[in-house]
């Protein structure tokens, strides 16, 4: 018997088979969950459909999180198909590539707005639509963050500010939704090779630095992040909300 037998999970943010979101979705499926996925555009839809088919997903829906009408439509479709939700994974983040290089002080107004809208506000928009379905099952809302929200990481720039806002949103949403039994948490994973990380200048150097200095002297694997997500979205994490769980081989505890 799996830890998510009979549970229903909606996953936003699978870009390809290297995505952290995909590793989490696979683990949920192995533990018995029924899955639904969203995609923001046709290019990602083409990569997502065969992956979703491999886990026999119930729904594959368009959802550009910068458009309220698309968020509303996707949640309406989930509500019509399932009625209730046990878990929502929000793995959505974006900043224009040109903002992830050079000096943070040169961040443009439009780049700042885009990063905060897609990477932080979208969690609020998703939570609002998911609330009644999650409340019915005392479910969990999970998002993904990074250590750049807490400390300065070269070239992470405006995305670090967006992730800091995202982590604050987790705490405020946990307070708002907790009375209904809904838990809201985040995982702060160590650096992983994903489509998003490919846009960060000097990412290979970041990987080597992390491996050399983390207490476990290694980088983490997507499967380890997925295991933490399973904990937070299953009965194992029933008493945990408003938290940012670091899955980074201990890197965040090192000061020097």
Q: Where are the beta strands (DSSP E) in 66-210?
A: 87-90, 140-145, 183-189
Are the C-beta atoms of 52 and 37 separated by less than 8 Å?
Answer: yes
Please, what sign has the CA dihedral across residues 162, 104, 213, 24? positive
For residues 114-123, one letter each, b for 16 or more C-beta atoms within 10 angstroms of the residue's C-beta and e for the rest, the string is bbbebbbbbb
Catalytic-role residue among 39, 146, 172, 231 = 146
* Beta carbons within 10 angstroms of residue 205's beta carbon: 11
Count the Cβ atoms, other than its own, within 10 Å of residue 204: 11
Catalytic residue among 39, 121, 156, 172: 156
The alpha-carbon radius of gyration of the chain (Å, integer) is 17
| Helices of type H across 56-155 | 68-81, 109-116, 122-137
How far apart CA 122 and CA 90 sit, in angstroms, is: 9
* Contact assessment for residue 36 and residue 80, using Cβ atoms and an 8 Å cutoff: no
Gap between the Cα atoms of 251 and 247, Å rounded? 9
Give the count of alpha carbons within 13 A of 120, CB side only.
22
Residue 156 is a catalytic residue: yes
Q: Can you tell me whether residue 185 is helix, strand or coil? A: strand
Contact 18, 193 (CB under 8 A): yes
Residues identified as active-site: 146, 156
């Amino acid at each position: 018997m799996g830890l998510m037998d009979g549970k229903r999970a909606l996953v936003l943010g699978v870009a390809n088979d290297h995505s952290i979101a995909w590793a989490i979705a696979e683990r949920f499926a192995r533990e018995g969950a029924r899955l639904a996925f969203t995609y923001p555009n046709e290019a990602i839809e083409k990569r997502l459909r065969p992956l979703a088919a491999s886990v026999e997903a119930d729904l594959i829906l368009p959802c550009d999180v910068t458009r309220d009408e698309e968020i509303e439509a996707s949640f309406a479709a989930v509500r019509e198909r399932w009625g209730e939700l046990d878990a929502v994974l929000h793995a959505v983040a974006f900043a224009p590539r040109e903002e992830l290089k050079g000096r943070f002080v040169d961040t443009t107004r439009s780049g700042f707005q885009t990063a905060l809208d897609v990477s932080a506000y979208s969690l609020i928009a998703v939570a609002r639509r998911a609330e009644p379905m999650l409340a019915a099952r005392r479910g969990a809302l999970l998002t993904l963050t990074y250590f750049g929200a807490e400390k300065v990481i070269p070239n992470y720039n405006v995305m670090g500010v967006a992730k800091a806002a995202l982590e604050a949103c987790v705490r405020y949403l946990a307070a708002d939704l907790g009375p209904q039994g809904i838990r809201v948490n985040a995982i702060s994973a160590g650096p992983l090779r994903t489509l998003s990380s490919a846009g960060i200048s000097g990412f290979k150097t970041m990987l080597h630095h992390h491996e050399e200095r983390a207490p476990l002297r290694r980088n983490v694997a997507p499967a380890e992040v997925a295991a933490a997500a399973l904990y937070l979205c299953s009965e194992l994490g029933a008493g945990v909300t408003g938290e940012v769980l670091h899955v980074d081989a201990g890197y965040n505890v090192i000061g020097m």
